[in-house]
A and B are shown apart, each in its own frame.
Chain A
Amino acid sequence: MGQAALVAAAEAPLLRVAGFVKRYGRRSAVKEVSLEVRRGEIYGLIGPDGAGKSSLMKAVAGVLSFDAGRLEVFGIQLDSEAAAERVKGRLGFMPQGLGLNLYPELSIEENIDFFARLRLVPAAELAQRKERLLAITRLARFRSRAMKHLSGGMKQKLALVCTLIHEPELIVLDEPTTGVDPVSRRDFWLILSEILHERGATALVSTAYMDEASRFHRLALMLDGRILAAGRPQDLRRRVPGVAVQLRAEHQAEALARLRSVFAQVQALGAWIHVFAQDRDATAAEREIRAALADIALHEMFSTEPELEDVFIASLRQQDPHAGAMSAAVQAPLAAMAAAADGNAIAARGLTRDFGEFRAVDRVSFNVSRGEIFGLLGANGAGKTTCIKMLTGILPPSAGEGSVGGIDMRHAGRAIKQRIGYVSQAFSLYTDLTVVENVRLFAGIYGLTRREAGERLAWTLDNGGLAGYENETAGSLPMGLRQRLALGCALVHRPQVLFLDEPTSGVDPVGRRQFWEILFRLSRIDGVAILVTTHYMSEAEHCDRLALMYAGGIVADAAPAELKRRVTEEAGSLLEISASPVLQALALLRSAGYPDAALFGEHIHLLARDPDTAGTQLRQMLAGAGIAVAHIGRRPLSMEDVFVHYVTLLERGGTLQ
Chain B
Amino acid sequence: MNLARVLALAQREWREILRDRIYFLLAFLLPVMLMLVFGYGMSQDIENIAFAVVDEDHTPLSRDYAHHFIESRYFSFKGYLPDADAADRLLAQRKLRLVIVIGPRFAEQLRAGRAAQVQTLIDGTFATSTRTIQAYVEAINLAANTSVRSGYLARRLGLPPERVADLLHPVVLEVRYLYNQEVRSIWSVAPGLIMLILMLVPPLLMALSVVREKETGAIYNVYSSTITRAEFLVGKLLPSVTISCINAVILWLLATLYFGTPFKGSLAFFGVATLLYILCTTALGLLISLLVRTQQAAMIISLVMSIIVSIQFSGLITPVSALSGGNYAIAHAFPAMYYNEVVKGAFLKAIGFEALWPQLLVFALYALAVFMLCYLLFRKRTRT
- B218 and A88 contacting across the interface, CB-CB below 8 Å: no
* Residues of A with C-beta under 8 A to B4: 117, 120
8 A Cβ contacts from A87-104 to B: 88-89, 91-93, 95-97, 100-103
Interface residue? A409 (CB, 8 A):
no
- The answer, among A61, A64, A85, A105, for a CB contact under 8 Å with B226, is A85
* Residues of B with C-beta under 8 A to A570: none
Closest CB in chain A relative to B290 CB, distance in Å: 15
- A89 and B16 contacting across the interface, CB-CB below 8 Å: no
By beta carbon, the residue of chain B nearest A61 is: B224
By beta carbon, the residue of chain A nearest B17 is: A105
Closest CB in chain B relative to A60 CB, distance in Å: 10
Known A88-B225, A118-B225; judge A101-B220 contact (CB<8 A).
yes
Considering the chains assembled together, what is the distance between the CA atoms of A96 and B20 in angstroms? 23
- A118 and B227 contacting across the interface, CB-CB below 8 Å: yes
Closest CB in chain A relative to B8 CB, distance in Å: 3
By beta carbon, the residue of chain B nearest A105 is: B19
Known A24-B384, A81-B381, A101-B217; judge A93-B224 contact (CB<8 A).
yes
- B15 and A65 contacting across the interface, CB-CB below 8 Å: no
By beta carbon, the residue of chain B nearest A78 is: B381
Considering the chains assembled together, what is the distance between the CA atoms of A105 and B19 in angstroms? 6
* Residues of B with C-beta under 8 A to A92: 224
- B8 and A105 contacting across the interface, CB-CB below 8 Å: no
Known A88-B224, A106-B12; judge A120-B5 contact (CB<8 A).
yes
- B220 and A88 contacting across the interface, CB-CB below 8 Å: no
Interface residue? B179 (CB, 8 A):
no
Interface residue? A62 (CB, 8 A):
yes
Closest CB in chain B relative to A111 CB, distance in Å: 9
Interface residue? A382 (CB, 8 A):
no
* Residues of B with C-beta under 8 A to A223: none
Interface residue? B48 (CB, 8 A):
no
Closest CB in chain B relative to A485 CB, distance in Å: 26
- B224 and A100 contacting across the interface, CB-CB below 8 Å: no
- B381 and A106 contacting across the interface, CB-CB below 8 Å: no
Considering the chains assembled together, what is the distance between the CA atoms of A64 and B8 in angstroms? 24
- A105 and B15 contacting across the interface, CB-CB below 8 Å: yes
Contact indicator per residue, chain A 106-150, by CB within 8 Å of chain B (1) or not (0) = 100010001101111000000000000000000000000010000
Interface residue? B383 (CB, 8 A):
yes
* Residues of A with C-beta under 8 A to B19: 105-106, 146
- The answer, among A63, A91, A119, for a CB contact under 8 Å with B382, is A63
- B221 and A105 contacting across the interface, CB-CB below 8 Å: no
- A114 and B8 contacting across the interface, CB-CB below 8 Å: yes
* Residues of B with C-beta under 8 A to A100: 216-218
Interface residue? A489 (CB, 8 A):
no
Interface residue? B67 (CB, 8 A):
no
* Residues of B with C-beta under 8 A to A85: 226, 380
- B8 and A118 contacting across the interface, CB-CB below 8 Å: yes
Closest CB in chain A relative to B57 CB, distance in Å: 68
Considering the chains assembled together, what is the distance between the CA atoms of A369 and B86 in angstroms? 73
Interface residue? A84 (CB, 8 A):
yes
By beta carbon, the residue of chain B nearest A59 is: B381
By beta carbon, the residue of chain A nearest B382 is: A64
Interface residue? B52 (CB, 8 A):
no
By beta carbon, the residue of chain A nearest B16 is: A105
Contact indicator per residue, chain B 348-381, by CB within 8 Å of chain A (1) or not (0) = 0000000000000000000000000000000111
* Residues of B with C-beta under 8 A to A110: 12, 15
Considering the chains assembled together, what is the distance between the CA atoms of A100 and B218 in angstroms? 7
- A118 and B9 contacting across the interface, CB-CB below 8 Å: yes
Interface residue? B38 (CB, 8 A):
no
- The answer, among B5, B15, B16, B226, for a CB contact under 8 Å with A88, is B226
* Residues of A with C-beta under 8 A to B221: 101, 115, 118, 162
8 A Cβ contacts from B3-32 to A: 4-5, 7-9, 12, 15-16, 19-20
Candidate in B221, B380, B381 with the most chain A CB atoms within 10 angstroms? B381
Closest CB in chain B relative to A83 CB, distance in Å: 9
Considering the chains assembled together, what is the distance between the CA atoms of A58 and B380 in angstroms? 11
By beta carbon, the residue of chain A nearest B12 is: A114
Closest CB in chain B relative to A502 CB, distance in Å: 20
Interface residue? B136 (CB, 8 A):
no
* Residues of B with C-beta under 8 A to A63: 220, 223-224, 380-382
By beta carbon, the residue of chain B nearest A97 is: B217
- The answer, among B7, B12, B16, B225, for a CB contact under 8 Å with A119, is B225
- B16 and A84 contacting across the interface, CB-CB below 8 Å: no
- The answer, among B16, B216, B383, for a CB contact under 8 Å with A106, is B16
Considering the chains assembled together, what is the distance between the CA atoms of A93 and B222 in angstroms? 10
- A93 and B384 contacting across the interface, CB-CB below 8 Å: no
* Residues of A with C-beta under 8 A to B383: 64-65
* Residues of A with C-beta under 8 A to B8: 114, 117-118
By beta carbon, the residue of chain A nearest B384 is: A24
Closest CB in chain B relative to A29 CB, distance in Å: 10
Considering the chains assembled together, what is the distance between the CA atoms of A117 and B222 in angstroms? 12
Contact indicator per residue, chain A 161-197, by CB within 8 Å of chain B (1) or not (0) = 0100000000000000000000000000000000000
By beta carbon, the residue of chain A nearest B18 is: A105
* Residues of B with C-beta under 8 A to A118: 5, 8-9, 221-222, 225, 227
- A93 and B12 contacting across the interface, CB-CB below 8 Å: no
Closest CB in chain B relative to A116 CB, distance in Å: 8
- A96 and B217 contacting across the interface, CB-CB below 8 Å: yes
- The answer, among B7, B218, B223, B224, for a CB contact under 8 Å with A102, is B218
Interface residue? B2 (CB, 8 A):
yes
Considering the chains assembled together, what is the distance between the CA atoms of A97 and B216 in angstroms? 8
Considering the chains assembled together, what is the distance between the CA atoms of A58 and B226 in angstroms? 15
Known A62-B224, A89-B226, A117-B8; judge A101-B382 contact (CB<8 A).
no
Closest CB in chain A relative to B206 CB, distance in Å: 18
- The answer, among B5, B15, B216, B381, for a CB contact under 8 Å with A62, is B381
By beta carbon, the residue of chain A nearest B7 is: A117
By beta carbon, the residue of chain B nearest A83 is: B381
Considering the chains assembled together, what is the distance between the CA atoms of A96 and B224 in angstroms? 13
Considering the chains assembled together, what is the distance between the CA atoms of A97 and B213 in angstroms? 13
By beta carbon, the residue of chain A nearest B235 is: A118
* Residues of B with C-beta under 8 A to A58: 220
* Residues of B with C-beta under 8 A to A24: 384
* Residues of A with C-beta under 8 A to B218: 100-103
Known A93-B220, A102-B218, A118-B227; judge A65-B12 contact (CB<8 A).
no
Considering the chains assembled together, what is the distance between the CA atoms of A95 and B380 in angstroms? 14
- B224 and A91 contacting across the interface, CB-CB below 8 Å: yes
* Residues of B with C-beta under 8 A to A89: 226
- B217 and A120 contacting across the interface, CB-CB below 8 Å: no
* Residues of A with C-beta under 8 A to B20: 105
- B379 and A81 contacting across the interface, CB-CB below 8 Å: yes
- The answer, among A64, A97, A102, for a CB contact under 8 Å with B381, is A64
Considering the chains assembled together, what is the distance between the CA atoms of A97 and B214 in angstroms? 13
Considering the chains assembled together, what is the distance between the CA atoms of A106 and B218 in angstroms? 13
* Residues of A with C-beta under 8 A to B381: 62-65, 81, 84
Considering the chains assembled together, what is the distance between the CA atoms of A91 and B381 in angstroms? 14
Closest CB in chain A relative to B341 CB, distance in Å: 40
Considering the chains assembled together, what is the distance between the CA atoms of A84 and B2 in angstroms? 19
- B224 and A117 contacting across the interface, CB-CB below 8 Å: no
Considering the chains assembled together, what is the distance between the CA atoms of A64 and B16 in angstroms? 27
Contact indicator per residue, chain A 14-42, by CB within 8 Å of chain B (1) or not (0) = 00000000001000000000000000000
Considering the chains assembled together, what is the distance between the CA atoms of A84 and B5 in angstroms? 19
* Residues of A with C-beta under 8 A to B9: 118
Considering the chains assembled together, what is the distance between the CA atoms of A88 and B224 in angstroms? 6
- B220 and A84 contacting across the interface, CB-CB below 8 Å: no
Contact indicator per residue, chain A 54-92, by CB within 8 Å of chain B (1) or not (0) = 000010011111000000000000000100110011011
Q: List 13 A-B contacts (CB under 8 A).
A: A61-B224, A64-B383, A84-B380, A88-B225, A88-B226, A93-B224, A102-B218, A103-B16, A115-B221, A118-B222, A120-B2, A120-B226, A146-B19
Known: A63-B382, A114-B8, A114-B12. 7 other contacts (CB 8 A): A58-B220, A61-B224, A63-B380, A97-B216, A105-B19, A110-B15, A117-B5
Which 8 pairs show the lowest CB-CB distances between chains A and B? A117-B8, A93-B224, A63-B223, A105-B19, A95-B220, A81-B381, A95-B217, A100-B217
